[in-house]
Amino acid sequence: MNAQWKGVLAIALALGLSGCGSSYVRQGHVGLLVNNLTGNIDQVLDPGYRLAAPVGQHIIEFPVIKQQYVMVRGSEGQHAEQDDSVQVNSVEGQAFNVDASVEYMVHDKQSVAGLYRRYGMDFDNIVERYYRSKFKSAIVDSFASMPLNEAITGDGRHKVEKMALTELRDALSQDHLDVDQVMIRAVYVPESISNSIAAKTQAENDLVKARTIAQQQVVEAEAEAKARLIRAKAEADANKMISASLTDQLIRKLYVEKLSDKVQLVLPSNGFYSLGGILPGADQAIAHAHHPGK
């Protein structure tokens, strides 16, 4: 190729490049090269610098990394300029507010083109116009199935999160959107309801305490009654054994031994004193001693 043709090609290349614009597709995103005339997607672009015709094409970025949509009272959420907490109702109809967030991501880069073809807008606008209402609806539906006193506890909030997560996964699966987590960050209960719950909780705690004391008293009474029964049985068994061992002779002997320390018998040297009134058979024993032949 001679020098003249080289110059022509260089000029053509320069003119061609000057008619193109460069754009940078950020990491964690996918670029859609959209035809301005037809609205069709000409190409799906990976991250990096990409060229696009300044008049005929433009590039739209879609994230393919995890996103978080935050709805709270504070300044953290997507609508930081206002109270963006979610108003919910319990199964009894009690109204209160909760802070909540949803974590999600587009399944893969091929799903990005499908989202754009369906909604015809960038991802942030899709989330605001179509997904935000679904996020809130899932949370509202989950709280509506639970009693207030359960919904505001830790376990109740975990149940709400699981129910909302299941509902959102079903609702957004057609868009190839993967929902990873629903989190209930805070619960705001009106003061009147809070005081009522506190009073009810205190009453329940007092009732449990009273029942525990009563049960302890019953256990102690039963133990004491059982101990008395055991002692009474032992005493009865001992008396029975003693009664069984007392013969007439043993009783007479014990009677004499009992009296021997307290009664002194004075007998005349030449006479007999009947003991029959004191000891049955005692006078016969003494007579026998003085007249052994009889």
Domain locations in the chain? Answer: 17-63, 67-189, 191-245, 248-290
pTM summary value: 0.60
| pLDDT tens digits along 139-171 | 999 999 999 989 888 899 999 999 999 999 999
Structure confidence at residue 3 (pLDDT): 54
Structure confidence at residue 11 (pLDDT): 38
| Cα-Cα-Cα-Cα dihedral sign, residues 208, 209, 211, 215 | positive
**C-alpha to C-alpha distance for 230 and 224, rounded to whole angstroms:** 10
**C-alpha to C-alpha distance for 76 and 68, rounded to whole angstroms:** 11
What is the rounded average pLDDT of the residues 86-104?
Answer: 95
Is the CATH number of domain 67-189 3.30.479.30?
Answer: yes
Q: Please give the sequence-ordered ranges of beta strands (E in DSSP) within 16-127, or none if there are none.
A: 21-25, 29-35, 41-45, 48-52, 57-63, 67-71, 86-89, 95-106
**Nearest-CA neighbor of 163 among 176, 177, 147, 146?**
146
